[in-house]
A = this chain, B = another copy of it.
Amino acid sequence: MVSIVALLHGPDRPGIVATIAGWIHEKGGNVIHADQHLDREENVFFQRVEWNVGVGADLEAESRNFAKMAEAELGMQVRTVLSNERPPIVLFVSKADHCFHDLILRWKAEELRGEIVGIVSNHPDLDHSAQEYGVPFLHIPCTEECKVEAEVAQLDFIRENGVGLVVLARYMQVLSENFLNDAGCPIINIHHSFLPSFAGAKPYHQAYRRGVKIIGATAHFVTPELDEGPIIYQDIHRVSHRNGVADLIAKGRDLEKIVLATAVRRQLENRILVYKNKTVVFD
């Protein structure tokens, strides 16, 4: 049964929960999940609410009406989706293939509420694998000289396919601020360290030199400040003096796969709100 999911946030005031629950009930709907959060420091109210509509109701109209009400009466910013929407996803990759295989296999196993519609890469290496999976592969070389043209081609693909989520699955290029502005959808990156430790290049080499006893991976939304975007999910793995850089890289691969997949899944399930460079993740 298709349900409506709404993500809201805005200044807290008395009666928000009652107004929202009352509105849904009045229209014959039934709340099946609701989770809220109050940031007391900022006085901002966040909510994710999911409901089944009454018999015969028009889902699209109901969504629009809800959003209008919550904006007008409660001053909230609202995003609504239907539970059966499956936004087109594009994966950006370079040469490393572990997150690429992992996400495609999860998609084929129906773990992801979206459709992988293409692979964009600055290297040709994964073309053959993408073909075997039956996913279009776009090789867009991206050197310093042709970065602008490359991003134009990337944005064309995004627009033509109505992409709703870009996933940087170990894509080894920095995206320009222009690209971020024009993409028109969220962009999730996996950074192979426990941010804010070891931002930037070669984090496992940095971790090895510092002699840390735990390594990590971080999935975050991409913003113009490199590796500074809102963090969605992190996980860690213990290491010891026995582990050289190659071991950290190998252990890190498993971390990266799970951390990126978790973040992508939560985004596709509409569980994430961003506020002031932080995330509220309703799980």
Contact = CB atoms under 8 A, between A and B. Distances in A.
A21 interface: yes
Interface in A3-19: 14-15, 17-19
Interface string A129-156: 0001000000000000000000000000
Contacts of A216: 214
A159 interface: no
Contacts of A160: none
Given A34-B34, A97-B109, A242-B37, A14 B25 contact: yes
A37 B24 CA distance: 18
A236 B233 contact: no
A213 B231 contact: yes
Nearest to A39: B241
Interface residues of A, number: 62
Interface string A243-278: 010000010001000100000000000000000011
Given A22-B18, A198-B196, A244-B41, A109 B105 contact: no
A69 to B, nearest CB: 14
Contacts of A161: none
A28 to B, nearest CB: 8
A30 interface: yes
A162 interface: no
A280 B211 CA distance: 9
Contacts of A105: 98, 101
A42 to B, nearest CB: 11
A196 B213 CA distance: 11
Nearest to A38: B32
B250 A111 contact: yes
Contact of A197 (B30, B194, B232): B194
10 contacts: A17-B31, A18-B24, A34-B34, A34-B36, A195-B212, A211-B230, A213-B281, A214-B235, A236-B236, A241-B280
Given A33-B36, A210-B231, 8 more contacts: A17-B25, A18-B26, A196-B197, A213-B234, A214-B216, A214-B235, A236-B236, A240-B281
